[in-house]
């Protein structure tokens, strides 16, 4: 239901070049080029920066692409409502999240929500923080959960809860019964997430500002790997938020400890959704559920 100009425009945006769009659409490069030029003439300004290796959206193009994608989403919503798919019992909700949320907390919340809404389906995309933000801005998900250091542009934040970086260890660990500093960590096997994660970025920044040099024995992008290494290495230590280990801490005899560093408290857990988009009945119900449960969990963590 899109015009040729808009279809060709989106193909160039996604492919990054006229030739890539040509391969995707099975249309000659010259035809696509003419349609893009016609669209730019209608808009009144260029939409791309043209380079030898391809085409990149300029500022005007970014604005135009955002509104085109939003219009697509609104059309999909209208068609779904007409077909009766707005009903809670027949809705699929797309979620984007970072690894820490996918480890335990989010699967637990999804299971809890489906006890009273068994017909709701979920599609979960686990990626890095930048990927989550891009998925929300592009309308490729309905809801996002991620640990953030700052507000995201063009994203509606429905809730934000403190998610400081904590040390996780066995209850029997020598550090478990006392105040811990960064300097204490060099004596113990340390397992850390990748440097692109917010938890690792804050940890590294804190080490630099406090003059501490800590070398991890294990670095991995998947928290599940760090978690199982911790379970099998009684002297090991890793870092995470209280949200990440919410359902495992007591059952596995693990404890969480602060390190008394202000920089490690700068992170929040954010509940995000697409700005300005209409919501289905199921999505509204799910977002209300997440806001309520995460607020309850936050109060519980503060009491602990």
Q: What is the pLDDT of residue 1?
A: 54
Tell me, yes or no, whether 32 and 99 share the same domain. Answer: no
- Domain with residue 16: its CATH number is 1.10.10.10
Say how many domains are in the chain.
3
290: confidence class by pLDDT, cuts 50, 70, 90: very high
Tell me, yes or no, whether 176 and 207 share the same domain. Answer: yes
Please give the mean pLDDT across all residues of the chain: 87
Q: Is the pLDDT of residue 149 over 60?
A: yes
151, part of any domain: yes
Tell me, yes or no, whether 154 and 36 share the same domain. Answer: no
Tell me, yes or no, whether 102 and 30 share the same domain. Answer: no
Do residues 21 and 31 lie in contact, with contact meaning Cβ atoms separated by under 8 Å?
no
Q: What is the pLDDT of residue 299?
A: 92
- Domain with residue 237: its CATH number is 3.40.190.290
CB atoms within 10 A of CB 253: 12
Q: Which of 4-13, 70-79, 124-133, 185-194 has the lowest mean pLDDT?
A: 70-79
Tell me, yes or no, whether 250 and 288 share the same domain. Answer: no
Tell me, yes or no, whether 191 and 255 share the same domain. Answer: yes
Distance (Å, whole) CA 105 – CA 290: 11
Tell me, yes or no, whether 34 and 96 share the same domain. Answer: no
Q: What is the pLDDT of residue 141?
A: 92
Tell me, yes or no, whether 177 and 261 share the same domain. Answer: yes
Q: Is the pLDDT of residue 41 over 60?
A: yes
302: confidence class by pLDDT, cuts 50, 70, 90: confident
Compute the average pLDDT of residues 115-126. Answer: 91
| Three-state secondary structure readout of the chain | CCCHHHHHHHHHHHHCCHHHHHHHHCCCHHHHHHHHHHHHHHHCCCCEEEECCEEEECHHHHHHHHHHHHHHHHHHHHHHHHCCCCCHHHCEEEEEECHHHHHCHHHHHHHHHHCCCCCCEEEEEECCHHHHHHHHHCCCCCEEEEEECCCCCCEEEEEEEECCCEEEEECCCCCCCCCCCHHHHHHCCEEECCCCCHHHHHHHHHHHHCCCCCCCCEECCCHHHHHHHHHHCCCCEEEECCCCCCCCCCCCCEEEECCCCHHHHCCEEEEEEECCCCCCHHHHHHHHHHHHHHHHHHHHHHHC
Q: What is the pLDDT of residue 266?
A: 83
> Percentage of the chain surpassing pLDDT 90?
42
Give the tens place of pLDDT for each residue, 54-76.
899 999 988 898 888 878 777 77
Do residues 265 and 164 lie in contact, with contact meaning Cβ atoms separated by under 8 Å?
yes
Give the tens place of pLDDT for each residue, 3-27.
788 888 888 888 889 888 888 888 8
Kind of pairing between the strands at 237-240 and 190-192: parallel
Tell me, yes or no, whether 138 and 276 share the same domain. Answer: yes
Q: What is the pLDDT of residue 279?
A: 84
74, part of any domain: no
- 290-296 long-range contacts (CB < 8 A, ≥24 apart) are 290/109, 290/143, 290/145, 290/158, 290/159, 291/158, 291/159, 293/109, 293/112, 294/159, 294/161, 294/269, 295/159, 295/161
Is 78 or 264 the better-scoring residue by pLDDT?
A: 264
Which domain does 287 fall in, by range? 91-159+267-303
Give the tens place of pLDDT for each residue, 172-184.
999 999 889 888 9
Tell me, yes or no, whether 258 and 237 share the same domain. Answer: yes
Radius of gyration of the chain (CA): 23
Distance (Å, whole) CA 275 – CA 91: 20
Q: What is the pLDDT of residue 229?
A: 97
Give the tens place of pLDDT for each residue, 248-266.
888 889 999 998 888 888 8
Q: What is the pLDDT of residue 83?
A: 60
Do residues 119 and 159 lie in contact, with contact meaning Cβ atoms separated by under 8 Å?
no
- Tokens 């509104």, residue located: 67
Q: Is the pLDDT of residue 85 over 60?
A: no
Tell whether the torsion through CA atoms of 135, 137, 141 and 144 is positive or negative: positive
78, part of any domain: no
- Domain with residue 275: its CATH number is 3.40.190.10
Strand order in the sheet with 143-148: 121-126, 92-97, 143-148, 268-274, 155-162
Tell me, yes or no, whether 250 and 179 share the same domain. Answer: yes
- Tokens 């500022």, residue located: 59
Q: What is the pLDDT of residue 220?
A: 95
CB atoms within 10 A of CB 24: 15
């Amino acid at each position: 239901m899109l015009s040729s100009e808009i279809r060709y425009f989106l193909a160039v945006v996604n492919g990054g070049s006229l030739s890539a769009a040509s391969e995707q659409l099975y249309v000659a490069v010259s035809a696509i080029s003419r349609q893009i030029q016609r669209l730019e003439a209608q808009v009144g300004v260029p939409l791309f920066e043209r380079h030898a290796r391809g085409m990149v959206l300029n500022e005007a193009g970014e604005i135009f692409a955002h509104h085109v994608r939003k219009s697509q989403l609104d059309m999909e919503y209208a068609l779904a409502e007409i077909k009766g798919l707005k009903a809670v019992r027949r809705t699929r909700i797309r979620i984007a999240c970072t690894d820490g949320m996918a480890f335990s907390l989010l699967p637990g919340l999804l299971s809890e929500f489906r006890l009273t809404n068994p017909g709701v389906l979920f599609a979960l995309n686990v990626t890095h923080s930048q990927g989550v933000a891009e998925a929300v801005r592009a309308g490729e998900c309905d809801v996002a959960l991620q640990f953030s250091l700052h507000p995201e542009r063009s994203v509606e934040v429905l809730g934000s809860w403190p998610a400081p970086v904590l040390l996780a260890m066995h209850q029997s660990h020598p550090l478990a019964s006392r105040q811990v500093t960064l300097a204490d960590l060099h004596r113990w096997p340390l397992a850390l997430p990748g440097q692109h994660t917010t938890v690792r970025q804050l940890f590294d920044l804190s080490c630099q500002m406090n003059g501490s040099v800590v070398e991890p024995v294990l670095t991995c992008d998947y928290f599940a790997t760090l978690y199982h290494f911790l379970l099998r290495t009684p002297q090991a230590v890793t870092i995470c938020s209280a949200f990440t280990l919410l359902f495992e801490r007591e059952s596995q005899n693990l404890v969480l400890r602060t390190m008394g560093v202000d920089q490690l408290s700068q992170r929040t857990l954010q509940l995000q959704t697409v700005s300005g988009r209409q919501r289905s009945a199921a999505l509204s119900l799910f977002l209300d559920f997440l806001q309520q449960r995460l607020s309850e969990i936050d109060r519980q963590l503060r009491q602990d």
